[in-house]
Each structure stands twice: as structure tokens, then as C-alpha cells.
Amino acid sequence: MWRVRSGVIEIVIATGNPHKLEEIAAIFAGEGLAGVQLRSLAELGKAFTEPCETGSTFEANASIKALSYAQQTGMLCLADDSGLEVDALGGKPGVISSHYATDGAETGASRAQRDAANNARLLRELVGVAPDKRSARFVCVMALARGGSLLHTSRGAFDGRIGVPPAVPRGGNGFGYDPLFLVAPGFARTGAELPPEEKNAKSHRAHAARQMAAWLRENAMQFKQA
């Protein structure tokens, strides 16, 4: 069963990234979500089997992760899946955003190598596409699960467009596609030029986390009584 200790609901976050855990915790606190303690998988001190993300949508992959780790840990589990959608490419890179250059295959390349290859492929595929036809968005879907049940999903988006070289890439604050992504509505700065606090406030993950926090706040009593 999920854990409730001294009126505090424990939720495990399906990530090994401590920065993501801190970001979600800060958003939850800012939304007035009290009585919830977030834990990382690493904190539990056990080895877990990483599920295969075989879904064709962000919702599917977030749900796969949430359900798998909820069953393995016996706790409420929150997982997310995110990526970039470019309209001129029919929504690609989509769920394979982090491995776009290799069509979703893991090759053992470093994060910096993957980012460079992914960005190069994206720019090649957009050659000749007019600036106003390069609309894009970062998408994040969060899924909350308990045991074998999916309880809730939330979706956030961060709108913009992909810039045209040599104006991009630029900026040193981001990673992934951030140096190529011109942020709406002004399209004057890339995601990699935003200060971290501004990016975290506007990001796709922030929007999804705030929606999830609202749902948890409204439904927390059912977990505390269970």
C-alpha cells in the first residue's frame, strides 16, 4: 500500500535526477500543497527494474513508468515524460526527442553528444522552412499511479518556434533543444537564454506539475484516510 506517515503522504518520483525532484518539490510548495513528502528512487535504497518506454505518446510512456515503479515500490509514484513537438515535422521528434538522431536507439553517447546530434538533425530537416512555419512546443506529461492503477495525468506545454541559423543556436543556460527554441510570444530569446528561475516558472514541466499539485490538493484526503 502507499505510505502515509504522521499525516504525510509519501510520493516517490520516478527519476534519478535530483534537480527534477527539487524543481517539482518547489512547485508543489508554491502551490500550497502541504502534507506531501517527495522521495527519489535512490532514497529508497533498493535496486529497481527500469521499464521499457514503448509508448507512442508522452501519456503512454509517463503511465508506463508510473505504474511500474508504483508496483515495485508499493508507494504512490509520480513519473513524467517530455519532449519537443515541431509542427512542420508532424510532431517529431516527439517521444524520441532525447535520441532523435538515432531514431530512438540508445548508443551509449554522452548527453552532450546526443544533444549536438539531435540539434543537427532537427536543423537539417527544417532547411527551407520559413520562420513563421517553425512553430514548436516542449511538452511534459505527468502520471500518478498506485499499485496497478493510474490515478491522474497532467499535461503542460511551453510554446515557441525553432530558430533559423545562424541566429541559433545561442545561449548557455539550457540543454537539449533549448539553444534552438525561440520562446513565444516574442521569439526574441531562446530557451537557453532564459534565467533559470524564469524558465522554471514558464516551462512545460512547471505547468504539468502545477496541475498535478492542484489535483493532489483536492484529493489528498482520500489518501490520508486509506
φ/ψ bin of 49: left (φ > 0), alpha (ψ from -120 to 50), beta (otherwise):
beta
**Contact indicator for 177, 196 with CB cutoff of 8 Å:** no
Active site annotation includes 81 = yes
Cα–Cα dist 139/158, whole Å: 7
Report helix, strand or coil for 34: coil
The catalytically annotated residue of 81, 103, 115, 178 is: 81
Length of the chain: 226
Mode of pairing for the β-strands spanning 8-13 and 36-40? parallel
**Contact indicator for 224, 36 with CB cutoff of 8 Å:** no
φ/ψ bin of 202: left (φ > 0), alpha (ψ from -120 to 50), beta (otherwise):
alpha
Catalytic residues: 81
